[in-house]
Amino acid sequence: MTTQYLFFSGKGGVGKTSMACTHAVRMAEEGQKTLIVTTDPASNLADVFEQEIGHRVTQITSLPNLWAMEIDSDQATQEYIDRAMDPIRAAFPPQMVEVMEEQMSGPCTAEVAAFDRFTDFLDTPDEPSLAFDVVIFDTAPTGHTIRLLELPAEWSQSIDEASAGSGQTCLGPAAAIQDSKFKYERALAAMRDSKQTTFIFVLHPEQISINETRRAIKELSKLEIDSYRLIINGIIPPEGAKNPLFAARAEMQAHYLSQITTNFSYPTDRMTLLPGEIKGVERLRQVAKIFFDGMPAKTITHIQPKTAINVQEITPLDQIRARISPNGHHRTVFFAGKGGVGKTIASCITAVWLARQGNKTLLLTTDPAAHIGDVLDSPVSDEIRPVNGLPNLWAVKIDPKAAAETYKKRILDDARLRGRPEKAILVMEEELNSPCTEEMAAFDKFIEYASEGEWESVIFDTAPTGHTLRLLELPVEWSKQIDIKVFSSVDATAADDVAKQRFSKVIEMMRDPEKSTFAFVMYPEATPIIEAWRAAEELSTVGINPGLVVANMVIPQEQVDTDFTQARRAMQEKYLLEIAERFQLPLAQIPLLPSEIKGLDMLSDLGEQIFQDESPRA
């Protein structure tokens, strides 16, 4: 028997979990022994199937042929570290072991550990009873992850050198990587076999979603993975388009549906936007009839909404303004959130509003595509430049790859000036090739800009993660361990006094609610809320607490004039209240608009609507 593997991929909020679960239910009902596995740290498989699942293979109670597992990233990471470090602990001094374990706490290790766990399902099980006809992965690995897993093959010489030297690579001890090499090779072979594996990209008919899908396919194609399908999700149905707002959005979608047809040659399916949530096996069966059998979406049963709850004024506007305004001193606002939820939109609206209030404002992004330029309708480069048409606003993009090259050169030059031996330099250079370096280097570049002191407001699109900030703290924590720096992470190796002062000063600023605000952007839907909550919890481990939450694409109350919009708005209101109750923070709301948000005029209007001008000076 040859197991079929389906990988569902897509940015947060496009519905990949719903589509993955719909496929799993249909295949199980057709008699195929099916397993659905997720590596999403904010997994909501349990919510969708309405039963506990967790970090173990669990049978779905009402479907005899369906099993599920939610890989717990923390648990998988600890299992991976323990397996890698057990032989090391017996052979090396405790101080060195501590440094090596700390290095493995980074985002690369967590990413690889999750993949390591689900490569077990890409391998031939020892027991035939454990074999599945179909294995569905919700949240496919990126090309970045797969490249990390190729390192044992591509870097065999480096690993041999590491074994003779520090014994450490960016994925952990070389010996442990060698042990996993053959398992990864079998897994990658299965992923490259188009007869066995298909990558299914779920996307919305919107420009950002199209761009991300194109980028992901390009990245995976470099790795000889070439079996793709598309599911265009969230298409507004005829009954939804009876409302003026949704009719305008349906017209916008038609443009992008045509663009997808023209630009992508892969098999493509379409799925309509439903009026309510997709939860429970019975609901998934109905969705499967729509998706696979062509049943009209309007025949689907849904719970009638209760009396509308007034969530329009959950938070007084002065509380929201207090979290973004400089108030007489410098303030940095970091917008965080998964790709696709609208953090770039939120960043641009906020930056434009602050500039119009007379604050000298810098807008930064680490998005290589510099999407802020599209939203501002003004070019953005890797040099700070004024935004055409709006005094007080400047913008710049930070290219992580270019920043990483500069960052690596500075660290290696510093090490040579300090007289480090060439062997140590080579080990440092190897560690600097870790993809983690790009994230840290981009933040290092941000520090350079933010430390200039001339800005009253700095708006940062794509906030650093807790992982990044923990790595930046390492020079402070390990400053006394000079003798074993060669075995530690690149940041510890580069822990000169200047770097420590720069990093510690900025991190302290980020911890001060009077000087900085972390704002989490999300849709009023279950998965983005869970993802934002988890990210906020991670930041709290480095002493940084969020100060603002932003709900995007909220249906305006005045547009609730059909059964379809009433059902959608009722679902959103439930989650708006959950956001307010869960985070206990000021909640700003960005309305759903008839078209994409683009240009200073639209951004200015939205800023006035969301924040309201106090005393516009520009």
How far apart (Å, rounded) are the C-alpha atoms in residues 372 and 359? 19
* Distance from the Cα of residue 208 to its chain's centroid: 14
Token digits of residue 553: 């694409």
| Helix, strand, coil shares, percent, the chain, to 5 | 50, 15, 35
- Please name which of 173, 193, 224 lies closest in space to residue 487, comparing C-alpha atoms: 173
Q: What value does the CA radius of gyration of the chain take, rounded to a whole number of Å?
A: 25
**Strand 58-59 with 66-70, pairing:** antiparallel
HEC string of 64-96? CCEEEEECCHHHHHHHHHHHHHHHHHCCCCHHH
Which amino acid, residue 585?
A: L
Whether 99 contacts 173, CB under 8 Å: no
Alpha helix (H) ranges present in 193-243? 207-221
CA dihedral 540, 542, 543, 547 (to 10 degrees): -50
Q: Is 19 helix (H, G, I), strand (E, B) or coil?
A: helix
Question: What number of other Cβ atoms are within 10 A of residue 556's Cβ?
Answer: 15
Token digits of residue 431: 């560690």
Active site residues: 13, 15-18, 40, 527
How far apart (Å, rounded) are the C-alpha atoms in residues 615 and 325? 12
Whether 5 contacts 12, CB under 8 Å: no
Question: What number of other Cβ atoms are within 10 A of residue 617's Cβ?
Answer: 12
Question: What number of other Cβ atoms are within 10 A of residue 134's Cβ?
Answer: 20
How far apart (Å, rounded) are the C-alpha atoms in residues 143 and 140? 10
Buried residues in 13-31 as b, exposed as e (16+ CB within 10 A): bbbbbbbbbbbbbbbbbee
Whether 146 contacts 191, CB under 8 Å: yes
Buried residues in 95-117 as b, exposed as e (16+ CB within 10 A): ebbebbbbbbebbbbbbbbbbbb
- Please name which of 130, 71, 547, 58 lies closest in space to residue 323, comparing C-alpha atoms: 547
Residue with tokens 């007289």: 419
Whether 390 contacts 357, CB under 8 Å: no
